[in-house]
Structure 1
Amino acid sequence: MIKKENRISYIRSVPAKVLIMALSLGSVGCGFLGPSDSDDDLLPLAGLLALAGAQQAQFDCTDDGLVWTEPTIPEANAWTGITYGNGLYVAVANDGTNRIMTSTDARNWTVRSAPGAAVPWYDVAYGDNLFVAVAGANGAEDVMTSSDGVNWTRRSEPVTADFRRIEFGGGRFVAAAESTANLLVTADGVSNSSVTPSGTIAAYNNVSYVNDKFLIFDQSSGSSIRSFTSTDGNSWTERTVPSGLWTSSAYGSGRVVAVGFGGSGGDTLMYSPNGIDGWVLANDPATFPSYRAVAHGGGLFVAVNHNGSPEVIISTDGINWTGVAEPTTRSWINVAYGNGKFVAVAESGQIMVSECD
């Protein structure tokens, strides 16, 4: 039943026929719903379209990820960062003439110029209607922002660092560097602050937002293998994880999955119920893998291999993994999910796409 209080309608329960009506209206693009004599049968137009739209926006990737294709792209730069937001896929590169590339369908790409002096842009993230990219030039303006993914502005930052990864979550962006222990934390890409988690860290060129927290792995040498977690990007808690050079993590299917590189069949895949503790190593189908990124969408995990074979592995639960065929051998380094598609980028200058039903 729909109750009306203070001119705001909300749903307590909805009859099945109304749900069917919602889906039908969404399918035909109906723009008006006339009055009804019964509150029980009345569903406001906004609610109808929202419900139908949400239903149509769901993608099931659990039986996909097996077929990958490489679209033709305008410049074969070293593409290292990829994200999706506001209906747009955005990739950044660490070399080349035009180091930004955008697409609305992941098939047809347009190159964009980055502002200012040429620097190696390594990663890009989207959140709160903003794209933010970071570079690894140890310079004073290694951040750029854009509201549309097309027009970009360079920004100053409080620390010079070799930034390699950036992630959005909880209303802020966090960027991690390769050669220093500094993290860049910002809500808008303009007002930036530098944070250093406690402890001695040489490098952690990875950051993910999983299960309502930021997660980074310490990639410095030493016997103590650590991760750090934070809910706000400012205060970090040290954790212990299995031995390995962990490079990326993603959340889905009720668990956090991390990937990395090491020896054959071990210390390259692991999962945890919360990303804090309880890590368990998973069996790896690849030979001498070097996983650099993992993403989750539509019920499927996808990890990409920088070298080794197979170069793409998939899993519905993060525990059991299967290798799949890719178009050809490339140096895949990042992968993102958006609008029913997984898009991977390679340092060797390619992009590949896998579509979900």
Structure 2
Amino acid sequence: MKKTILSVAIMLCVLSSAKPSWAAGEQPGDACTVAGAVVRAAGPDQVPYLTLVCNGSTWVLADERTTAGRSLFRVGSDATACDATKVGRISFVGGAWTYCHDSSWKAIGLPNCAAGQGLTQGVAGPECCPTMGWAVTAPPEANSWSNVTYGNGLFVAVSTNGTNRIMTSPDGVNWTARAAPENLAWNRIFFGNNLFIVTTSSTSNRIMTSPDGVTWTARTVPQSNSWQGVTYGNGLYVAVSSNGTNRVMTSPDGVTWTLRTAAADNAWMAITYGDGLFVATSSNGTNRVMTSPNGITWTSRFLPGTDPAVYSIAYGNGRFAGVSSGGRVFTSTDGINWSQATLSETNFLRSITFNGTKFITVSNNGTSRIATSVDGVTWQLYQAPEASNWMSVTNGGGKVVATATSGTNTIMYSIDVPCP
């Protein structure tokens, strides 16, 4: 019996010391063509197997060694664009897992659907349903509808030309033309603290206000700048300007305004308030963001990227998100440190809003002129029902509404698409 056991032990020892004899398969650095393809490869000295992923031209290791010595399946917190060098990489950003494939980050796992929603299989994977779809309608007057907002149960849009340069709607579908106190080129409209405020860049009365969106009053301002974005926070309205000496002004009531000094003489285009901080963005200058805790004292902040002209900014899900040309979105959780994400289409993103669940942005060019994102980093693109010059988007009453400055139907509104 002892002799038998000894013989078996010797045989196992010989087998375990022998090298595998199989032929080598694909190796790191070998050429490949199918981006995202995964293979298990092995050679005589490779135990265990190697897992390789094709980046579109070359087989690369599917695992990588971290500085701590741990081996991961190409996992990181990568908020930059998905390109050929990152195919197969898994990323965890903004509480969501994605993987890099076909030039964009794809969601991993099932989406987090809202109460009352179900799941259906979409083109890019599982999707919640009913989901957001889009429809268009014509305005009461074919003006250049530059901006839209929502407040007190009413959508209100303003125009830079035409006879009646205001229109209102209770549902985003049926609109009524309204007269402005002056026929100026009205740029932006904002609602906060039970007041609508509209800005312009022409004549002395460069602001008009309304408590209901129907009856309007022209207001004088202390300086004839090109006033752009307005917001409300901490008991104060704050407006920014793209020119002039003092490019910030504040008001406790929207009627009486006081000039303030901006952090820099940039062309300030947009402003928002979130998490106790005012954040304004510009279309030129060295530091294209400025922040303030009170709307009065401002500090310049650096924005990454080349020539990042940010025309619209919103706050939601604990972060600021600003949109720019080239399909670029800039995000920050504190308003101070910023990161850049790029959509798969490099459209000119003109406006952004947050509807309580996701960010929605619209563009005035490109194939897909609508994009949505939960975190401002990973975006899903959609074609608009009409390729109009979409310039502004807002949300309210469970609906998202956008307006355009040109096109046949220059009003776009969201609709619920039922589960198939």
Q: For the superposition of Structure 1 and Structure 2, which TM-score range results when normalised by the shorter chain?
A: 0.7 to 0.9
1:162 aligns with 2:162: no
- Matching residue within 265, 271, 283 for 2:342: 283
Alignment match, 2:196: 131
Cα deviation 1:147-204 (Å, max 9, x = unaligned): 11100011111000112222222322222222335123222221111122133x2411
C-alpha displacement of 1:355: 3.8
Contact 1:62 / 1:298 at 8 angstroms: preserved in 2?
no
Aligned CA distance change for structure 1 residues 259 and 193 (closer, same or farther; 3 Å): same
Alignment of 1:49-128 (within 5 A): 66-116=132-182, 118-128=183-193
Aligned CA distance change for structure 1 residues 354 and 65 (closer, same or farther; 3 Å): farther
Equivalent residue letter for 2:340: L
Contact 1:164 / 1:176 at 8 angstroms: preserved in 2?
yes
Q: SS where residue 276 of structure 1 aligns?
A: coil
- Matching residue within 277, 289, 297 for 1:235: 297
Identify which range, 205-214 or 73-82, moves more after superposition: 205-214
Q: For the pair shown, which has the larger CA radius of gyration, 1 or 2?
A: 2
Alignment match, 2:256: 191
Q: SS where residue 69 of structure 1 aligns?
A: strand
Long gaps (5+) in structure 1: 1-57
C-alpha displacement of 1:238: 1.3
Distance 2:389 2:294 in 1: 33
Q: SS where residue 330 of structure 1 aligns?
A: coil
Aligned CA distance change for structure 1 residues 202 and 237 (closer, same or farther; 3 Å): closer
TM-score by length of 2: 0.65
C-alpha displacement of 1:66: 4.2
Alignment match, 1:172: 236
Contact 2:135 / 2:414 at 8 angstroms: preserved in 1?
yes
Alignment match, 1:346: 404
Answer 1 or 2: higher relative contact order, Cα 8 Å, separation at least 6: 1
Q: SS where residue 342 of structure 1 aligns?
A: strand
Identify which range, 201-210 or 80-89, moves more after superposition: 201-210
TM-score by length of 1: 0.75
C-alpha displacement of 1:63: 5.6
Contact 1:66 / 1:325 at 8 angstroms: preserved in 2?
no
1:272 aligns with 2:338: no
Contact 2:266 / 2:288 at 8 angstroms: preserved in 1?
no
Alignment match, 1:318: 376
Aligned CA distance change for structure 1 residues 306 and 156 (closer, same or farther; 3 Å): same
Long gaps (5+) in structure 2: 1-114, 118-126
- Matching residue within 265, 276, 287 for 1:225: 287
Q: SS where residue 68 of structure 1 aligns?
A: strand
Contact 1:293 / 1:333 at 8 angstroms: preserved in 2?
yes
Contact 1:205 / 1:247 at 8 angstroms: preserved in 2?
yes
Distance 1:356 1:170 in 2: 35
Equivalent residue letter for 2:350: R
Matched-pair identity in %: 36
Contact 1:95 / 1:119 at 8 angstroms: preserved in 2?
yes
Aligned CA distance change for structure 1 residues 147 and 113 (closer, same or farther; 3 Å): same
Distance 2:343 2:259 in 1: 36
Alignment of 1:21-60 (within 5 A): none
Alignment match, 2:314: 250
Distance 2:236 2:148 in 1: 18
Cα deviation 1:268-308 (Å, max 9, x = unaligned): 1122222221x222231213x11111100131110111222
Aligned CA distance change for structure 1 residues 63 and 160 (closer, same or farther; 3 Å): farther
Q: SS where residue 255 of structure 2 aligns?
A: coil
C-alpha displacement of 1:232: 2.2
Equivalent residue letter for 1:182: R
C-alpha displacement of 1:356: 5.8
Aligned CA distance change for structure 1 residues 154 and 64 (closer, same or farther; 3 Å): farther
- Matching residue within 186, 207, 216 for 2:280: 216
